[in-house]
Amino acid sequence: MEQKFSILMSLYFKEKVEYARECFESLLNQTVPATEWIIVEDGPLTKELYDLLDEYQNKYPNLIIRVPLEKNVGLGLALREGILYCNYDLIARMDTDDIARKDRFKLQLNEFNKNPNLDICGSHILEFEGNIKNIVSKRNVPIDNKQIEKYQKRRDAFNHMTVMYKKKAVLKAGNYQSCLLMEDTLLWVNMIQSGAVCSNIDDYLVYARVGKDMYDRRGGWAYLKKYRIGRKRVFKTGYISNYDYLYTIVVQVIVSLIPRKLREFIFKTILHN
């Protein structure tokens, strides 16, 4: 029997049309395609992005559900709204500038079929610049539930764009919340605390786009301030200790304030390797 599931994405005006098109095509070419795409329009978009959405909606009118928001609210609140429009309990997250491996959903659905109690399942990622043949780094994550619970205290145990989760488990944990830079971090913590059963597939199911802009965004006093505020919010959940909190802040101070070239080197060779 065909297993029905939703894909949840958010699109905002800075997204590049060619990146979004590559993403959409990777979703259409899945060995097990989704039943519906929920695309949240996070505030007004460019004409080119509207044209792209119109094109795909005209081609696949029974597939795409668009959720337009009047103003840009950020990823967390956009996804919070989009979750409510998903008609199926299984939801696959995807970022609109990344590319899914063609068997991604098949492998994740297999995991949920093997373990009916499973609530969230992600994977490792391969990070690329330009095209997926140019792999510059990777980010591995822990595999089983116990490892995930421990790892999440200091770093994200899931790659957000890879996860498939149950809608009821996300809502039980309070759904996405506004937490700048850490919408997903806070959700993972809340899901773990609410008893979610977690796993990651020991494979690379998504190609994640990176580049100079990403390493620029991760630096400077402004980013560090936002990071500290987000991390404080996670600390207040009671999931992490004072030591975990201080450790991550110290590491982030170093990473944020070093020169960009050195930051890029650390991400590629240490943090994402």
**Token pair belonging to 260:** 């960009």
Please state the rounded mean pLDDT for residues 224-250: 95
Contacts of 49 (CB under 8 A, 6+ apart): 11, 13, 15, 17, 20
Residue whose C-alpha is closest to residue 193's, from 230, 152, 231: 152
pLDDT, one tens digit per residue, over 2-48 is 789 999 999 999 999 999 999 999 999 999 999 999 999 999 999 99
Give 273's pLDDT tier (boundaries 50, 70, 90).
low
pTM reported for the whole predicted model: 0.93
Q: Higher model confidence: residue 201 or residue 265? A: 201
Contacts of 248 (CB under 8 A, 6+ apart): 154, 155, 231
The mean-pLDDT minimum among 38-47, 70-79, 193-202, 250-259 falls in 250-259
Instruction: Count Cα atoms within 13 angstroms, Cβ side, for 156.
Output: 22
Residue 216 to residues 93, 130, 222, 257, Cα–Cα distance (Å)? 25, 17, 12, 11
The pLDDT, as a whole number, for residue 101 is 98
What distance in Å separates the CA atoms of residue 189 and residue 208, rounded to the nearest whole number? 23
Q: H or E element: which one contains 199?
A: strand 198-209
The pLDDT, as a whole number, for residue 192 is 98
